[in-house]
Amino acid sequence: MVENSKAVASCGEALVKLLEAYGVDTVFGIPGVHTLELYRGLPSSNVRHVLTRHEQGAGFMADGYARVSGKPGVAFVITGPGLTNISTAIGQAYSDSIPMLVISSVNETNTLGKGWGRLHETKNQRAITEPLTAFSATAYRAEDIPDLIARAFAVFNSERPRPVHLEIPMDVLASPVAYDWSNELRIARSRPQAEPKLISAAADLLKASKRPVIIAGGGALDAAESLLAIAEKLTAPVFTTVAGKGIVSPQHELHGGANLCMSPAWDYLEQADLVLAIGTELADTDMWRDTLPIKGDIIRIDIDARKLNDLYPAKIGILADAMGAAHQLNQAIDSLETKPSVVADVANLKNGILQEQAELQQKHLAVLACVKNHLPAEGFIATDMTQISYTGNYGFESEGTRSWLHPTGFGTLGYGLPAGIGAKIAAPERAGLVLAGDGGFLYTLQELATAVEEIHTPFVVLLWNNDSLGQIRDDMIAMDIPTVGVSPVNPNYTMLAKAFSCQTYKPQSLDELESCLEEAFKYMGVSFIEMHDSSVDIAQ
């Protein structure tokens, strides 16, 4: 808690104090003439400001920060272009249920909607973020702010987390506060608990099931312990979505991995008589097919009521926080006799997946194996929309949760580098690696400037260069469409990284990659490794 030594003057100053009181320690942003009053209170607070090079970067950094810390990422942006620049990142956070608080200015209250052509003016700024957020609101008076911030944190703590946008007109931002609300915490941290009757019904179904399967998504990250206990009691394999990677240790015999996009997993699911899906949308972006071939009953546990019958009708739908519900469910189930055949099936399934990899994916896996060898314990990987990440989504086995950051739903290019920077700022003690393609990296490469300015512990950018927008080129070829616009003339990436004062490497083989990674993870700063796909020889 902060102490109010001196009376706060303006709404902007009070807001910074209030955020600090809510536990905000970092904001990402770019100042402008419209947001000066937001910045006035920063120097006298303990809130760190991270200057980004584009507001899109600020948004992705806030996202990466949130994914690694579980706390909302916060961004300050200017009216108009600042807000539209960050909108893509807001959309990404919305798709992936990431808590994020975007605070922007907007033009003076009396000018709103008039179309006078004020600097940075939009028709209705809030309408832009309305479809991208849990809610977006305008503070028409300074005294609205404690309410609105409380509401935002209610979303972050007690609902399906999603971004919130708060816009503050410049006149309101500069106005004096009528009373000091800078310490007015209203924390709602109650999450919905499962109805006991439903838990025992679910437990009965699970106990009666011969071949149950658990599917855990990003909503179940904090339920890992109970889920594992349930899985062990039932001998049920656990598959995760990409956002759920790490919920079960890859060494565990019931770890089915994030393999829901692979046909051996589909075959397995088809034989399951019961699926427990927890904290997952079961969206097609994780399956690479419209719906999974689930033949058995489904129990769904979700904090979002609208997900309980979505795409797949649930036999039992439990509206609850995943952690609490998993705990209750675990208590309602006794250990059953273990089923060794299931363990063998899981091993076969994973093996089968490895066997069926095409040459391109084998290349990816070879590179990812090098990464795995050198990524320090607790390290995280932030990924972009590149083919090697798609392979890694299932093929890279994360040791823990909050360690594989991927823009799954919205699928935004340029996510990897800034998300990695944000994650690193949330957890400087963890080593970080960014995995980006030659196309996606260019989207946000200017954030290398932010990286070298802010990061002084091991942070490695691994560029996967195939000199093409590979996925789209392959799609075009598959659909008999001329390959227009997918074979870019690329820059000399290594030289670019040098211009940003990064330590650079250009390995010519997998062996060289190993030694580059080893060195890079020792370097106290930003390293850049360009791996060209032609340098990966899997015949070796």
Partner 1 sequence: MATCGEILVKLMEAYGIECAFGIPGTHTIELYRGLPQTNIRHVTPRHEQGAGFMADGYARLTGKPAACMTVSGPGALNIATAMGQALQDSVPMLVISADNNTFEKGLGEGRLHETRNLQAAMAECSVWSHTLARADELPKVMARAFAIFNSERPGPVHISMPLNVTTSNADHVPMDLWAIPSRPAAAPAQLQQAADLLNESQRPVIALGGGAADAAEWVRALAEKLDAPVSLTHNAKGILPVDHSLHVDTSPSYQPVRDLYLDADVVLGIGTEFSESDYDFFFNGEFALGGKLIRIDIDATQLTRNVRPDIAIRADAQLATEALLPLINESRRNGSQRTAQVKELLAPLNHPGYQAFLDAFQVALPGAAVIGDSTQPAYFGAAQYHAPAPRRFASAATGYGTLGYALPAAFGAKLAKPDLPVISLIGDGGLQFTINELSTAIEAKISVAVVVWNNERYEMIAQNFVDAGMEPIACDIYTPNFLKIAEGYGCPAHRAESIEHLIELLRQAQKVDVPTIIEVREQDFIQA
Ligand X SMILES: Cc1ncc(C[n+]2csc(CCOP(=O)(O)OP(=O)(O)O)c2C)c(N)n1
Point out which residues bind Mg ion (CB under 5 A).
437-439, 466, 470
CA distance 319 to 176: 43
Structure tokens at 419: 């998300």
Binding-site partner at residue 67 among partner 1, ligand X, Mg ion, none, CB < 5 to 8 Å by type: none
Contact of 424 with 527, CB cutoff 8 Å: no
Structure tokens at 20: 């600090």
Query: How big is the site for partner 1, counted in residues (CB under 8 A)?
Result: 91
x-or-dash string of contact with partner 1, 55-84, rule CB under 8 A: -x-----------------------xx--x
Binding-site partner at residue 185 among partner 1, ligand X, Mg ion, none, CB < 5 to 8 Å by type: none
| Chain center to CA of 419 | 8
**Which residue shows structure tokens 């006078």?**
116
Q: Nearer to partner 1 by C-beta: 97 or 209?
A: 97
Answer yes or no whether residue 87 interacts with partner 1 by CB under 8 A: yes
Answer yes or no whether residue 9 interacts with partner 1 by CB under 8 A: no
Q: Nearer to partner 1 by C-beta: 144 or 310?
A: 310
| Chain center to CA of 73 | 11
Q: Which of 46, 451, 400 is nearest to 255 (CA)?
A: 400
Structure tokens at 18: 């209030």
DSSP E strands: which ranges in 417-479? 432-437, 459-465
Q: How far is CA 204 from CA 252, 334, 440, in A?
A: 25, 11, 48
CB of 463 to ligand X, least distance (A): 9
Within a 13 Å sphere around the CA of 354, how many CA atoms are in the beta-carbon half? 13
In this chain, which stretch among 130-138, 200-208, 256-264, 316-324 interacts with partner 1, using CB under 8 A? 130-138
CB of 55 to ligand X, least distance (A): 6
Q: Nearer to Mg ion by C-beta: 349 or 486?
A: 486
CA distance 154 to 186: 9
Binding-site partner at residue 387 among ligand X, Mg ion, partner 1, none, CB < 5 to 8 Å by type: ligand X
CB of 440 to ligand X, least distance (A): 3
Q: φ, ψ for residue 375 (rounded to 5)?
A: -65, 120
Q: Nearer to ligand X by C-beta: 60 or 464?
A: 464
CA distance 263 to 375: 29
User: Which amino acid makes up residue 276?
Assistant: L
Contact of 48 with 20, CB cutoff 8 Å: no
Answer yes or no whether residue 481 interacts with partner 1 by CB under 8 A: yes
Contact of 382 with 461, CB cutoff 8 Å: no
Q: Nearer to partner 1 by C-beta: 330 or 503?
A: 503
x-or-dash string of contact with partner 1, 264-303, rule CB under 8 A: -----------------x-xxx------------------
Q: How far is CA 472 from CA 82, 393, 477, 479, in A?
A: 30, 18, 9, 10
CB of 283 to ligand X, least distance (A): 16
Rounded to 10 degrees, what is the CA torsion of 529, 501, 55, 384? 0
CA distance 21 to 102: 17
Answer yes or no whether residue 313 interacts with partner 1 by CB under 8 A: no
Q: Nearer to partner 1 by C-beta: 285 or 330?
A: 285
CB of 410 to partner 1, least distance (A): 5
Contact of 486 with 466, CB cutoff 8 Å: no
CA distance 184 to 146: 7
Q: Nearer to Mg ion by C-beta: 56 or 466?
A: 466
Q: Nearer to partner 1 by C-beta: 208 or 495?
A: 495
Binding site for ligand X (CB under 6 A): 30, 32, 55, 78, 81-82, 85, 385-387, 411-413, 437-440, 464, 466, 468-472
Q: Which of 298, 229, 232 is nearest to 269 (CA)?
A: 298
Answer yes or no whether residue 383 interacts with partner 1 by CB under 8 A: no
Q: DSSP character for 236?
A: -
Answer yes or no whether residue 526 interacts with partner 1 by CB under 8 A: no
Answer yes or no whether residue 92 interacts with partner 1 by CB under 8 A: yes
Site for partner 1 in 448-467 (CB under 8 A): 448-449, 452-453
- Maximum CA extent, the chain: 73
CB of 79 to partner 1, least distance (A): 9
Binding-site partner at residue 172 among ligand X, Mg ion, partner 1, none, CB < 5 to 8 Å by type: none
Binding-site partner at residue 48 among ligand X, Mg ion, partner 1, none, CB < 5 to 8 Å by type: none
Contact of 102 with 141, CB cutoff 8 Å: no
Q: Nearer to Mg ion by C-beta: 322 or 486?
A: 486
Answer yes or no whether residue 125 interacts with partner 1 by CB under 8 A: yes
Which residue of 23, 131, 293, 340 would you call a contact of partner 1, by CB under 8 A?
131
Q: Nearer to Mg ion by C-beta: 212 or 407?
A: 407
